[in-house]
C-alpha cells in the first residue's frame, strides 16, 4: 500500500537541506540514528520557490524532544529544514508536504548520512502524539525503540477521533517481532472501519482488516457500495476498501456490486477495478 513521503535532513542544532527518499515503516527505527517524539517550537519561512502551480516554502523548524526512543534525550532541541506546499488549481503527481504545527508533537525518525541526520517522515503521514498517549512509553521499561513506537501508535489509534489513517498504516507495516497480534488489530480497527466519519480512516481500517483475512466484513462493504444511503462519489470511492482482500475475494465482491447497483459512477469504477484484477 502506497504511502506518500517527505524527507528532511537534520543535524542536531544545525539547519540542513532536504530531499525525498525511501518510504517509512517502523522497521526503519532499527537502523535509525535517532527516533523521538518532537514538539514543534517554531517554524519560519527561509525561502520560496515556484514549481508549476505549486509555491513551495522552505521552512526552518525547531523541535524539542518530548520523548526519546533512541539516540537523543528529553529536552534536546533539534533544528531542521522542512517544506510547505501551496497549490493553485489541479495537480498531477504533485508533492504534498506534511504540515508541522507549532505546539504539536510528532513521531520523528532519523538516519545518518554524510554527517547529517535524515528524517524519515511521510508526506501527509506524520503521526501526532499528544501527551496522554506519550505516557504509555513510561510503562514499557526495557522495551525496544520499535516496540515503544508500536505501543505509542496503538494508543494513538485507540484514542483517535478524527483522521486515524496515519497510525493505522504504520502499525500495519511494523516489523513482525513487534507487530500487534491479529486479535488486537481486529479489535482496534473494526469499530473504526464501521463507524468513522473519515473515508481515509475507513479505507486504512478495511484494507488492513482485509490483509488479516477478515472476509466476514465483505458483505457490509458490498451493501454500503450498492446501497443509496450515501453520496455516489463516496460509494464509488469505497470500492478501494476492498483492496486488502485477495484478488479472488475482490472479484467476487465487485461482481456482486455490479449486479445490485444502478449507480452509473459506481458501475464505472467497479468495472474498471474488475478489469484491472482480471488481467
pLDDT digits (tens, 9 = 90+) for 108-117: 887 776 666 6
Core vs surface per residue 59-75: b (16+ CB within 10 A) or e:
bebbbebbbbbbbbeee
pLDDT for 225 equals: 96
Beta partners for 9? 118
User: Residue 187 and residue 209: Cα distance in Å, rounded?
Assistant: 10
User: Residue 120 and residue 177: Cα distance in Å, rounded?
Assistant: 21
User: Residue 101 and residue 78: Cα distance in Å, rounded?
Assistant: 15
Domain boundaries, given as residue ranges, for the chain: 1-126, 129-192, 213-279
Q: Which residues contact 261 (CB under 8 A, 6 or more apart)?
A: 225, 226, 267, 270
| pLDDT (tens digit per residue) in 213-233 | 999 999 999 999 999 888 999
Are the CB atoms for 150 and 35 separated by under 8 Å?
Answer: no
Are the CB atoms for 238 and 224 separated by under 8 Å?
Answer: yes
User: Residue 140 and residue 93: Cα distance in Å, rounded?
Assistant: 41
Mean residue pLDDT of the chain comes to 83
Q: Which residues contact 35 (CB under 8 A, 6 or more apart)?
A: 29, 68, 69, 70, 71, 107, 108, 109, 110, 145, 149
User: Residue 77 and residue 41: Cα distance in Å, rounded?
Assistant: 9
Between 6-15, 48-57, 176-185, 203-212, the lowest mean confidence (pLDDT) is in 6-15
Exposed/middle/buried for 11, CB within 10 Å: 0-12, 13-18, 19+? Answer: middle
Residue 148: all three cell numbers together? 515503544
**What mean pLDDT is predicted for residues 120-144?**
78
Q: Which residues contact 71 (CB under 8 A, 6 or more apart)?
A: 32, 33, 34, 35, 36, 110
| pLDDT (tens digit per residue) in 89-108 | 655 445 566 778 899 999 98
| pLDDT (tens digit per residue) in 63-92 | 999 999 999 999 999 887 777 777 766 554
3-state SS assignment for residue 92: coil
User: Residue 65 and residue 80: Cα distance in Å, rounded?
Assistant: 13
Q: Does residue 134 carry a pLDDT above 90?
A: no
pTM of the predicted protein model? 0.81
Q: Does residue 255 carry a pLDDT above 60?
A: yes
Give the confidence band of 10 by pLDDT, cuts at 50, 70, 90.
very low
Measured from the Cβ of residue 122, the count of other Cβ atoms closer than 10 Å reads 19
Amino acid at each position: 500500500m502506497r504511502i506518500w513521503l517527505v524527507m528532511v535532513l537534520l543535524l542536531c542544532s544545525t539547519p540542513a537541506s532536504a530531499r525525498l527518499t525511501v518510504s517509512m515503516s517502523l522497521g526503519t527505527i532499527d537502523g535509525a540514528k535517532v527516533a523521538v517524539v518532537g514538539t514543534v517550537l517554531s517554524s519560519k519561512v527561509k525561502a520560496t520557490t515556484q514549481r508549476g502551480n505549486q509555491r513551495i516554502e522552505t521552512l526552518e523548524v525547531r523541535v524539542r524532544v518530548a520523548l526519546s526512543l533512541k539516540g537523543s534525550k528529553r529536552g534536546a532541541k533539534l533544528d531542521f529544514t522542512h517544506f510547505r506546499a501551496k497549490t493553485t488549481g489541479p495537480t498531477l503527481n504533485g508533492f504534498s508536504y506534511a504540515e508541522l504545527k507549532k505546539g504539536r508533537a510528532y513521531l520523528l525518525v532519523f538516519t545518518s548520512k554524510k554527517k547529517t541526520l535524515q528524517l524519515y517522515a511521510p508526506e501527509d503521514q506524520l503521526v501526532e502524539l499528544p501527551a496522554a498517549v506519550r505516557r504509555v512509553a513510561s510503562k514499557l521499561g526495557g522495551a525496544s525503540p520499535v516496540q515503544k513506537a508500536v505501543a505509542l501508535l496503538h494508543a494513538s489509534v485507540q484514542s483517535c477521533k478524527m483522521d486515524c489513517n496515519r497510525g493505522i498504516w504504520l502499525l500495519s507495516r511494523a516489523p513482525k517481532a513487534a507487530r500487534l497480534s491479529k486479535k488486537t488489530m481486529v479489535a482496534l480497527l473494526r469499530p473504526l472501519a464501521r463507524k468513522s466519519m473519515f473515508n481515509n480512516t475507513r479505507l486504512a481500517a478495511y484494507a488492513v482488516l482485509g490483509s488479516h483475512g477478515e472476509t466476514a466484513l465483505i458483505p457490509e462493504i458490498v451493501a454500503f457500495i450498492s446501497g443509496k444511503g450515501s453520496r455516489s462519489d463516496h460509494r464509488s470511492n469505497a470500492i478501494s476498501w476492498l483492496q486488502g482482500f485477495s484478488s479472488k475475494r475482490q472479484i467476487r465482491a465487485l461482481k456482486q456490486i455490479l449486479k445490485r447497483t444502478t449507480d452509473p459512477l459506481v458501475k464505472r469504477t467497479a468495472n474498471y477495478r474488475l478489469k484491472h484484477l482480471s488481467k
